[in-house]
Chains A and B, each alone.
Chain A
Amino acid sequence: MLRTIRAFEERVHVEYAEGNIPGATHLYAGQEAIAAGCCAELRPDDYISSTHRGHGHAIAKGADLTRMMMELFGREGGVCRGKGGSMHIADFSVGMLGANGIAGGGVPIGCGVGLSAKVRGTDQVGVAFVGDGGANQGAFLESLSLASVWQLPVVFVVEDNGYAQATASKYHLRGLDVARRGEAFGIPGAVVDGCDFFAVRDAAVEAVRRARSGGGPSIIDCKTARFFGHMEGFDQQAYRGSGEAEKLRAERDCIQRFTASVTGAGLVSPEEFDAIDREVADEIARAAEAAKAAADPDPAELLTDVYVSY
Chain B
Amino acid sequence: MERMLTYVQAIGEAMSQEMSRDPSVVSFGEDNIGGMGCDGKLGNAWGPTQGLHEKFPDRIFDTPITEAAFVGAAVGAAASGLRPVVDLLFADFMGVAFDQLINQAAKLRYMFGGQGTAPLVVRTFYGAGMRGGAQHSQSLYSLVTHVPGLKVVVPSNPYDAKGLMTQAIRDEDPVIYFEHKMLYWTPGEVPEEPYTVPFGQSRLVRSGTDCTVVALGRMVGFAETAAEELAAGGVSIEIIDPRTISPLDEDSIYRSVEKTGRLVVVDESPPRCSVARDIVALVAENRFEALRGPARTVNTPHTPVPYSPALEDRYIPGPDSIVRAVLEAVEAGGWNGRRQDRLAGTQSPVA
Spell out A's residues near B (CB within 8 Å).
22-24, 74-75, 78, 80, 82-85, 87-88, 100-105, 133-134, 136-139, 163-173, 234-242, 244, 296-297, 299, 301-303, 306
**Which one of B118-126, B303-311, B321-329 is at the A interface?**
B303-311
User: Counting CB contacts under 8 A, is B113 at the interface?
Assistant: no
Q: Which residues of B sit under 8 angstroms from A136, Cβ to Cβ?
A: 64-66
User: Beyond A22-B309, A137-B96, A166-B34, is A234–B136 a contact (Cβ under 8 Å)?
Assistant: no
Spell out B's residues near A (CB within 8 Å).
30-31, 34-46, 62-69, 92-93, 95-96, 130-136, 301-304, 306-311, 314-315
User: Beyond A101-B133, A133-B64, A303-B303, is A238–B43 a contact (Cβ under 8 Å)?
Assistant: yes
Q: Which residues of B sit under 8 angstroms from A74, Cβ to Cβ?
A: 131, 307-311
Q: Is the beta-carbon distance between A240 and B39 smaller than 8 angstroms? A: yes
Q: Is the beta-carbon distance between B306 and A168 smaller than 8 angstroms? A: no
**Most chain A beta carbons < 10 A, residue from B42, B66, B133, B315:** B133
With A82-B310, A105-B135, A172-B65 known, 18 other A-B pairs at CB within 8 A are A23-B132, A74-B309, A78-B308, A83-B134, A83-B311, A101-B134, A137-B65, A164-B30, A164-B65, A168-B37, A168-B39, A171-B36, A240-B39, A240-B40, A241-B38, A297-B308, A299-B311, A302-B301
Instruction: Please report the C-alpha to C-alpha distance between residue A100 and residue B36 in the assembled complex, in whole angstroms.
Output: 25
Q: List 29 A-B contacts (CB under 8 A).
A: A22-B131, A22-B309, A82-B308, A85-B131, A85-B308, A87-B133, A87-B136, A88-B307, A101-B133, A101-B134, A104-B96, A133-B30, A136-B66, A167-B35, A168-B35, A171-B38, A172-B37, A172-B63, A172-B65, A234-B45, A238-B41, A238-B43, A239-B40, A239-B42, A240-B40, A241-B38, A299-B310, A299-B311, A301-B311
User: Beyond A22-B131, A168-B38, is A237–B43 a contact (Cβ under 8 Å)?
Assistant: yes
Q: For A302, give its contact among B40, B64, B134, B306 (CB under 8 Å).
A: B306
Q: Is the beta-carbon distance between A138 and B133 smaller than 8 angstroms? A: no
Q: Is the beta-carbon distance between A303 and B41 smaller than 8 angstroms? A: no
Prevailing SS type, chain A contact patch: loop
Q: Name the distance in Å between B95's Cβ and chain A's nearest Cβ.
A: 7
User: Beyond A84-B134, A102-B96, A238-B35, is A167–B30 a contact (Cβ under 8 Å)?
Assistant: yes
